[in-house]
Amino acid sequence: MTWSRGNMADGEEPEKKRRRVEELAEKMAVDSGHGGNARDWDGRWNHVQKFLERPGPFTHPDFEPSTESLHFLLETCKILVIGAGGLGCELLKNLALTGFRQIHVIDMDTIDVSNLNRQFLFRSKDVGRPKADVAADFINRRIPGCNVVPYFKKIQDFDESFYRQFHIIVCGLDSIIARRWMNGMLMSLLIYEDGVLDPSSIIPLIDGGTEGFKGNARVILPGMTACIDCTLELYPPQINFPMCTIASMPRLPEHCIEYVRVLQWPKEKPFGEDVPLDGDNPEHIKWVFQKSQERASEFNITGVTYRLTQGVVKRIIPAVASTNAVIAAACATEVFKIASSAYVPLNNYLVFNDVDGLYTYTFEAERKENCTACSQVPQDLKFAPSATLQDILEYLTENASLQMKSPAITATIDGKNRTLYLQTVASIEERTRPNLCKTLKELGLTDGQELAVADVTTPQTMLFKLHFTS
Ligand SMILES: [Zn+2]
Residues near 323 by beta carbon (within 8 Å), at least 6 away in sequence: 210, 212, 213, 214, 215, 352, 354
Q: Compute the distance from residue 401 Cα to the ligand 1 centre, in Å.
A: 10
- HSE-up (13 A, CA, CB side) for residue 70: 16
CA of 197 to the centre of ligand 1 (A): 14
Question: Residue 360 in 3-state DSSP?
Answer: strand
Give per-residue pLDDT as tens, 162-206: 999 999 999 999 888 899 999 999 999 999 998 899 999 999 999
pLDDT at 28: 52
Quote the pLDDT of residue 245: 78
Catalytic option among 244, 256, 331, 437: 244
Distances (CA, A) of 67 to 50, 78, 103, 342, 345: 10, 19, 21, 12, 21
Q: Whole-prediction pTM value? A: 0.77
The 10 Å Cβ neighbour count of residue 422 is: 19
Looking at residue 317, what is its pLDDT? 58
User: What stretches in the chain show pLDDT beneath 50?
Assistant: 1-11, 30-38
Please give the distance, rounded to the nearest whole angstrom, from the Cα atom of residue 458 to the centre of ligand 1. Answer: 12
Say whether 90 sits in a helix, a strand or coil.
helix
Residue 221 CA to ligand 1 center (angstroms) comes to: 10
- Determine contact, residues 29/137, Cβ cutoff 8 Å: no
Compute the radius of gyration of the chain from its Cα atoms.
25
Query: In the β-sheet with 147-151, what is the strand arrangement from edge to edge?
Result: 147-151, 102-106, 78-82, 168-172, 205-211, 214-220, 349-353, 359-363
pLDDT of residue 377: 79
The SS3 of residue 301 is coil
Q: Is 244 labeled as catalytic in the residue annotation?
A: yes
pLDDT tens for residues 320-338?
Answer: 999 999 999 999 999 999 9
* Confidence (pLDDT) at 151: 98
